[in-house]
Structure 1
């Protein structure tokens, strides 16, 4: 690891003898490790100089992605506790609804995914919020793959009714759903658009606390607005 870190510090590469001196390793040990790391793809050698290889770049990329996911999880946990509701982060990627992170607690349990979120986007606030950010063709494509189906007595009736509802939704306003996905639960989702990425942060409450839904949604929206700049990279996972 010290050898990898030392190579990474030399943008224009470094020879084996210099790497041995800087790491404090014996030269034979350094040569042995360098050969192994080159063979495994963590380093590459050009004209006697060593550079980071593709495997090391992938490792770095994975670490950066994990750090971004951790940032989102920490932020959701903080807002969950301050607002007092379970929170969800989701995005629309490659034609699919993906719930990336859920932050709940014993006091604020999340909605049980009793029907696949990907297939029931028409029935929950997360899906409706993401679909509202797509263009007409992308919405119709999604519904061709995942047509509207009855989930509860409150679920939207058919594809046409859902498309009309989506077209009427005010841009960048919270999307509210009441018992359309799960009886006894109300939800709200805040649209987030970073470049071409459609994302959302959402919250849920028991239906007997429905009077808290909009105030909590507006509080979440305010928090997102305050921190969107610092979160922009993190939420584009």
Structure 2
């Protein structure tokens, strides 16, 4: 927890700590669970949560557990669009260098959300609508993001989402996926081998230094993204991911 000051600033910090605690818990927690993770006194938590519920940033379930509220969606969507605005010139640079469609995605409420795209100039190209949501175990960007997370956190996420198959190639076993994520972490990039869409291959790299997990990718027909092309393109995707990280740091 960051150092705090007195008065209203301290209350504001504590309120954000509780929102982040709910996010870390998968979007839902009880007051006692928040007390355990935040270290705040129960009366303080109760007072702050009541205010956040009134404002719509937290909602209370009938079982008296608390969840992230709908007013956060607008904030998240606008933050994602701003992130995409900063990254779009670098995604365009990536397309110029590799010739395939480039995407930027973030992990939000256990889902991959695409926040920016630069399309390929090929007549046959991959198109993912900005704003589209998918589960992370079945996408290259999702696997890249999961590879940066502690294994226990990944298991919990998979328990919450399940592992439905997008194609016959989608990972459906948590142990096998976790082993695969270790290989991704060592290699520095993920491959989607027709796991989200048959005939499509994707190279994805995590973007470091973001508030939450994020990744960029290039995707195209597997006939164009051959093994030789992957070996050439992966370092370029890694370099652009580093440039996006540096751009984010400069906007802080």
Q: Same fold (TM over 0.5)?
A: yes
Partner of 2:238: 221
Partner of 2:224: 209
- 1:172, 1:190 within 8 Å by CA — same for their partners in 2? no
Partner of 2:164: 149
Moved over 4 A (4+): 62-68
Match of 1:71 among 86, 98, 104: 86
Matches within 5 A, 1:1-237: 68-107=83-122, 109-112=125-128, 117-119=133-135, 121-171=136-186, 173-194=188-209, 197-211=212-226, 212-226=229-243, 228-232=245-249
Q: TM-score, normalised by structure 1?
A: 0.61
Q: Which runs of 5+ in 2 are unaligned?
A: 1-76
Q: Distance in 1 between matches of 2:83 and 2:211?
A: 18
- 2:103, 2:116 within 8 Å by CA — same for their partners in 1? yes
Call closer, same or farther: CA 1:197–1:171 in 2, change over 3 Å: farther
Deviation at 1:149, TM superposition (A): 1.9
Call closer, same or farther: CA 1:226–1:73 in 2, change over 3 Å: closer
Report the secondary structure of 1:153's partner residue: coil
Q: Which runs of 5+ in 1 are unaligned?
A: 1-61
Deviation at 1:111, TM superposition (A): 4.1
Report the secondary structure of 1:224's partner residue: helix
- 2:210, 2:248 within 8 Å by CA — same for their partners in 1? no
Report the secondary structure of 1:122's partner residue: helix
Report the secondary structure of 1:177's partner residue: strand
Q: Which has the larger radius of gyration?
A: 1
Call closer, same or farther: CA 1:229–1:71 in 2, change over 3 Å: same
Q: Distance in 1 between matches of 2:78 and 2:134?
A: 27
Call closer, same or farther: CA 1:99–1:209 in 2, change over 3 Å: same
Deviation at 1:64, TM superposition (A): 9.2
Call closer, same or farther: CA 1:198–1:65 in 2, change over 3 Å: closer
- 2:148, 2:185 within 8 Å by CA — same for their partners in 1? no
How many residue pairs align between the two structures?
Answer: 171
Report the secondary structure of 1:208's partner residue: coil
Deviation at 1:185, TM superposition (A): 0.7
